[in-house]
Amino acid sequence: MSETVQHVEQMVDATARADVTETFEEWQRLLQTLRARIEERFELHRDPSTADLESYGDPDNGPSGRLAAYAGPEIDWLVHSWIGDPRTGFVNLHLTAWLGPRTAVPHLGCALLLWPQGWFYVDAIPRGDLIGDADYYDRYYRDADEPWSTFKSEHPDFTWFTSRTGFIRASLSPTAHCYSFPPVRSNLDTVAELLTARVEQWLRWVDEAEPVAPQQRPALAARDLAVRRNIAERDPANVMGRRMFGDELTDRLVRGLWGGDRILERPRA
């Protein structure tokens, strides 16, 4: 199977512009539905540090976006965001949920991108060492191994995306989905089904999870924050934000992704 090995800005620059508003709006509805499912299970509160990011940029005439972050007793940081200009063919949407340290359930990561071709990512972000803790691997990743392998052969329209940044490659679990694809109806349906199934699985994991021993929770919380910050700050796609909005606002948005300006307290360990 072929693979995509390009930076996001290279893919954007090499592709003719096209209006992707229809697909963007469909994906907005999808992520809103998934966030609503999460809100049924968790108590969430909008962090005031992101209130003025409800709308930024120039929605009528150019690039714009939205970043909303939430926290609660069991959720350390949940981000629901988008950035770009769908009329010119580039938009990036995120729904990520980072759990507090009461359980060691993997975090939930979802991202959707139009450039104007499609791209998606969905993963169970590990909370520890999958090689050193084989039981953790068996609990959350072993059963996904065969479906992950089967996906490649069952969906030939999807091309594996390999980041040119080693740090980002290292952030993926062995059963992450990270593909580019033509955004036709059947492929859009496949992406929606995968993201919906992953959210439902993740919610089941949370309900079935055993509590982390209290003495282990501070270290887990510290690791979670370091992972979240490193991924946000080292994301190669941040260059697109700098192109559209400059350094000051982009730095603010990156801090919003990991909680650098947060006001609400983190969940008690």
Question: Which residue shows structure tokens 């104007």?
Answer: 116
Instruction: Print pLDDT tens along the chain (269 aa).
Output: 455 545 566 666 566 579 999 999 999 999 999 999 999 999 999 999 999 999 999 998 999 999 999 999 999 999 999 999 999 999 999 999 999 999 999 999 999 999 999 999 999 999 999 999 999 999 999 999 999 999 989 999 999 999 989 999 999 999 999 999 999 999 999 999 999 999 999 999 999 999 999 999 999 999 999 999 999 999 999 999 999 999 999 999 999 999 999 999 999 87
Q: Tokens in use for 86?
A: 């769908």
Residue 133 burial (10 A CB sphere; 0-12, 13-18, 19+): middle
Neighbours of 6 (CB within 10 A): 16
Phi, psi for residue 107 in degrees, rounded to 5: -75, 165
What pLDDT score does 15 carry?
Answer: 60
Angle at 129 between CA 124 and CA 132, to 5 degrees: 135
Q: In angstroms, how far apart are the furthest CA atoms of the chain?
A: 54
pLDDT at 268: 84
Any bridge partners for residue 91, and if so which?
84, 114
Rounded-to-integer distance, Cα 96 and Cα 111, Å: 8
What's the CA angle centered on 122, arms 120 and 123, to 5 degrees? 150
Q: What is the spatial distance between Cα 85 and Cα 82, in angstroms, rounded to a whole number?
A: 10
**Ramachandran region of residue 233, left (φ > 0), alpha (ψ -120 to 50) or beta?**
alpha
Predicted local distance difference test score (pLDDT) of residue 14:
60
Q: How many residues in total does the chain contain?
A: 269
Domains of the chain as residue ranges with CATH: 8-258 (3.40.1500.20)
d(CA 260, CA 69): 11
Q: Which of 117, 120, 119 is nearest to 109 (CA)?
A: 120
What DSSP character marks residue 210? Answer: P
pTM strictly above 0.85: yes
Residue pair 107/124 in contact (Cβ under 8 Å)? The answer is yes
The answer to whether the beta carbons of residues 119 and 20 sit under 8 Å apart is: no
What is residue 17's predicted lDDT score, i.e. its pLDDT? 73
Peptide bond into 48 cis (omega under 30): no
Strand partners, 82: 66, 93
Determine the pLDDT at residue 152: 87
